[in-house]
Each structure stands twice: as structure tokens, then as C-alpha cells.
Amino acid sequence: MAAAAEEQRWKALVSRDRTWDADFVYAVVTTGVYCRPSCTTSTPLRRNVRFFPNWAAANAAGFAPCKRCRPDLQSALTPQTEAVIRACAALHQGKHAPVLNELATKVGVSRFHLHRTFKKTLGVTPGEYAEELRWKRLSTLLTLGYSVSDAIYQAGFGAVSRAYEKAKFNLGMTPAAWRSGGVGAAIWYAIVESDSECVLVAGTDSGICMIAEDKSLSALLQILKSCLPSASACWRDGKREAWIIQAVEQNNPRHLMSNIPAEYESVAFSARLRKRILNARIDGPLALHANLSRLRLDRSSLPLSCP
């Protein structure tokens, strides 16, 4: 095996990258066992690892299948799911998302097949997924203190103007205002709780500031407070919450395939929910303000600080 190919497989093993599960197995000479790249067992020493193209080759070499990841059983991932996972991995690897043709080439399928399969599996197109990823990266970088221009370029936007054009819908404010902790912003938030997770949606009258998931409600509230500590008002909005609960139920990730890694499904879920909320307009972008504002509570009786 070429050194470059072996190095690539080693990296997949160390990162437990399940997108490689259909490409090879690895065996550990000290244990006599072979595993899938995504196996959760402890990472072996590299000098003790041998790579094989499939489980049959590992069996023929005298190794036994791991009882944890069962590499001798047929992968539960369909070719379509594997293609989607590979596409998501490619979108996460670089700052600038490849265009559909380039992404399809990386994945090894046609652009039409990728677009159709991606949308069917995750509920959003590759372009919508990449857009959501950019906004998540931008808000994170701004919170970390990057300059506005650096954060915009690092997040994958080709120009500062491109980020500013849609910032009020996807950050609820300008990037500069976000970097300043949401200074002066009046922020509402809604919580959707279930047995397994909580979802927080926060926004302004202009758009959505944040969509976050966690098992802990207190953790979500702390995230909101730490990202936007300078907001002039921050309150739980019961009227919006009732509508958002329905939107979350309609776009719940558990309604989709369970084989998608949680990191990728989380981005897709945010993209689906954001699209659902932002598309709940009367007619065009300017109507978003009216659509959100008509649900406004009386702020005079609400606390002027984040939870």
C-alpha cells in the first residue's frame, strides 16, 4: 500500500471516521482482532496496526472480528447514506464549500444524484447545509473575538457584503452587533423540551440569532447568555414558543435516518428549522418583521437581562 494511502487510513482510524467503514478494516497484531475505522475501542499503537481492504482479507490473514463493531457484518449504511456522509465531511473540512459539481466529484457520484439523495436524507440541499454551516461558524468566531472581517472570511463567505446582506435574518443583527455581545438588541427565545434533548431558538424582530441543542436546558440558557450578554432585553416568549414547538416537531431530526453522525444531523436540523421559521412570511423578506412582530409580548413586564 502506498504510504500516502496508509497515512490517510491511519487518520481515519484515529478520528474514528465512519465514512471510511466501507473502504477498509484494520487489525491489531497484539490482540489478533480487526475492526472498522469507526470502532470506539482504544486507539492502538500505529506499529501494531495492519490495514486490509475488507473483512474477508483480514479473516484470511488469521485475525478475528471485533465483537464490538462487528466488521464482519454488512454495513448498515446504504450507498446513498454513505454518499451523504462523505458530502457532509467534505463541507466541514474547508472554509469554502465546494460547488455542487466539485462536491459530487469528491463523493464519487453525479451532481444530480448527490443533490437528490442529500435532500431526501437530510431535508435540505447541499447548498442550504453549507449556508447553515457558514452562519454557525460566523457566530462562533464573532463570539471568540475575531474581527468582523476575519470572522466573515474564516466562516467561508466570499465577501463581507455577502454576510451583511443576510445577517439580519440569520444573526438577528449585524455581525458587528453580534461581536459586541448583541449590544442594544431585544432578544426573545423559545425552549422546546423533550425526554432526550432541549432545543433553544432565539431571535430578534429581524430574524434568528441562534438555534442550539443540548440535553441540558441550563446549558442552553448559559450559551445564549454568554454569546449575547449585552442585549438590552432577553425574555422567554410564550406566544412564539407555541408556534416554534410545532415547527420543531415537524423538523425533528429523529424523524429522519438515524445513521447520520450527530454533528451533521445537528447542522441539517438547524437548517431545516431556520428555513421553516424564515419562510413563515406573508410575502417576501420585509414581511418577516411583521410576521414576528405580531407575536410580540408586552415587554414592560419582562426582565431586561438574559436568564
Residues with active-site annotation = 35, 306
Give the three cell numbers for residue 12: 481515519
- CA nearest 187: which of 214, 215, 227? 227
CB burial of residue 276 (10 Å; 0-12, 13-18, 19+): middle
SS (H, E, C) 235-265: EECHHHHHHHHHHHHHCCHHHCCCCCCHHHH
Q: Which residues, other chains included, contact 11 with Cβ-Cβ below 8 Å and sequence gap of 6+?
A: 17
Helices (H), the chain: 3-14, 55-60, 79-93, 100-107, 111-122, 126-143, 148-155, 160-170, 175-179, 217-227, 238-250, 262-278, 286-293
Rounded CA separation 146/148 (Å): 6
Which three-class secondary structure state does DSSP give residue 67?
A: coil
- CA nearest 89: which of 138, 139, 17? 17
In angstroms, how far is CA 167 from the centroid of its own chain?
19
Q: Which residues, listed in sequence order, are joined to residue 199 by a DSSP beta bridge?
A: 192, 213
